[in-house]
Structure 1
Amino acid sequence: MALADLALPEKAAFFPRFFKAGKGEYAEGDQFIGVTVPDQRKVAKEFRDKISVEELSEVLSSEIHEHRHCALLILVAKFEKSKDSSEKEAMVSFYLQHRKHINNWDLVDNSCYKILGRHCFDKEDHRILEDLATEEDLWSKRMAVVSTMHYVKRGEFDLMKKLVLKNLNHPHDLIHKANGWLLREMGGKNEAELLDFLKKHYRKMPRTTLRYAIEKLDESIRQDFLKGRI
């Protein structure tokens, strides 16, 4: 595969630590060959029109992390290019059917809002994301909230806030971080919306979520939230 020609041994040694693939970690057993994301994007661009969605199934089922990530980059590129609604529906179904292989934060974050988020927003039907948020699987929950990025970028915050609250006190910090990240993005679009949300909920937030959410606020306001003065 084209990715093998771009593999770097030093990256192959580093990535398992970076992506927490060690024993007992959330990506235990994931395998890496050491291809950087910029190089994966080059391969995805090259193969977007050369490989079918059906053929992507084998790549997305690979044990190699970079294979799965590159397959998702290709799927996103195909989805964004397509003007055919039935074709796009098929890609959404493909994505959901293969989500057991979308099992690390980068795989989720670089694909879900560009496919699921855009699809649900355009259809004005949020049930896919609401259902994912109720699943026990860590990656499904992260997929649900990160998919609302498409909504947030367009100034719609209600679904994101609903899903953040649904899993606000989930035990895993990858959900805390995702929740805080989406809240911060909302603040970038509308700071008043963020402040209103935080005033109501910050005292029961995990500290990581709060720190992510307030990262771009003025230092005096940040300290007020961190020290519970609001």
Structure 2
Amino acid sequence: MNELAQTAADVQAALAAVADAKDAIHLQRFFKTGPGEYGEGDVFLGVRVPMTRGIAKRFAALPLIEIDALLDSAVHEDRFAGLIILNAKFAAASKPRTFDDEARAAMVDLYLAAVRRGRVNNWDLVDASAENIIGPWLADKPRDLLFELAAADSLWERRVALLSTFAFIKNGDATTTFALSERLLDDHRDLIQKALGWMLREVGKRIDQRLLTGFLDKHAAQLGRTALSYATEHLDAVVRADYRAR
């Protein structure tokens, strides 16, 4: 199937063909779609992640306008598939032999627009995309965008800001993670606490545990219990207990 022939409707049909109604019920509970929950009102077909990823691979040539249509879908798996396809296109445009900064910029704009209109609106959607799109894009650029996202009212924009720094951590750079963490210390939303603790833990795991403990020496008392639990998970038991006692 050539690029011009691939459409969002094709992806949606492929997902619908493998949907499972029982899985849909499970996923709606797992992703907290009930009244007042963080995923309130989201709709699931009942397609598990490995199967969604497999379908997304078949549509690597999907044009950006069709990816945007997927991201505007009311169906969670449609949006997830759209993000997986976007990840792959961004990675392809970032390779030395196929590098295309104009194409990358267009993908970033599309992604940010989807984030800001509330279409990247659950933790799995954020976690599967932020470090693969915004992180690499900002690797050699000023990172003001992340601080703008971290200051937004939207829980999901703030989580995008934190998760984008995973790309920097994997390249040995904890500076932006620490700066954003200091901004979000008082944000006690559960999904921000978990993201904050997770990124701090990864600094200690992937870069240097002394960087993590240095941050905790200053801020452990300000961190929520969830963030502190995540951040100290891989520390020595005695050290972990000391930080958690603060």
1:10 is displaced (CA, Å) by: 1.9
Whether 1:52 and 2:68 are equivalent positions in the alignment is: no
Question: Which position in structure 2 is the counterpart of 1:198?
Answer: 216
Tell me, in whole angstroms, the C-alpha distance in 2 between the residues paired with 1:157 and 1:171: 22
Choose from 59, 78, 81 the match for 1:67: 78
Question: Which position in structure 2 is the counterpart of 1:115?
Answer: 133
Whether 1:157 and 2:157 are equivalent positions in the alignment is: no
Tell me, in whole angstroms, the C-alpha distance in 2 between the residues paired with 1:191 and 1:10: 43
Which structure 2 residue ranges, 5 or more long, are not aligned? 1-12, 94-98
Tell me, in whole angstroms, the C-alpha distance in 2 between the residues paired with 1:171 and 1:196: 22
1:21 is displaced (CA, Å) by: 0.3
**Secondary structure in 1 aligned to 2:43?**
coil
Segment drifting more, 169-178 vs 179-188: 169-178
The answer (yes or no) to whether the contact 2:185–2:223 under 8 Å persists in 1 is yes
Cα RMSD of the aligned pairs, angstroms, is 0.9
Choose from 25, 28, 31 the match for 1:13: 25
1:140 is displaced (CA, Å) by: 0.5
TM-score normalised over the length of structure 1: 0.96
1:203 is displaced (CA, Å) by: 0.8
Tell me, in whole angstroms, the C-alpha distance in 1 between the residues paired with 2:24 and 2:73: 16
1:227 is displaced (CA, Å) by: 2.1
Residue by residue over 1:43-69, the C-alpha shift from the partner in whole angstroms, topping out at 9 and shown as x without a partner, is 1111012x1011111111000000000
Runs of 4+ deviating beyond 6 Å:
none
Query: What code does the residue aligned with 2:220 have?
Result: Y
Choose from 181, 186, 197 the match for 1:180: 197
Identity of aligned residues (%): 41
Residue by residue over 1:17-49, the C-alpha shift from the partner in whole angstroms, topping out at 9 and shown as x without a partner, is 110100110111000011011001101111012
Alignment of structure 1 residues 80-229 onto 2, 5 Å: 80-82=91-93, 83-99=99-115, 100-121=118-139, 123-189=140-206, 190-228=208-246
Question: Which position in structure 1 is the counterpart of 2:96?
Answer: none
Whether 1:78 and 2:89 are equivalent positions in the alignment is: yes
Which structure 1 residue ranges, 5 or more long, are not aligned? none
Residue by residue over 1:58-92, the C-alpha shift from the partner in whole angstroms, topping out at 9 and shown as x without a partner, is 11100000000010000001100112110001000
1:112 is displaced (CA, Å) by: 0.7
1:171 is displaced (CA, Å) by: 3.1
**Secondary structure in 1 aligned to 2:188?**
coil
Residue by residue over 1:156-186, the C-alpha shift from the partner in whole angstroms, topping out at 9 and shown as x without a partner, is 0111101011011113111011000000000
**Secondary structure in 2 aligned to 1:47?**
coil
1:222 is displaced (CA, Å) by: 1.1
How many corresponding residue pairs? 226
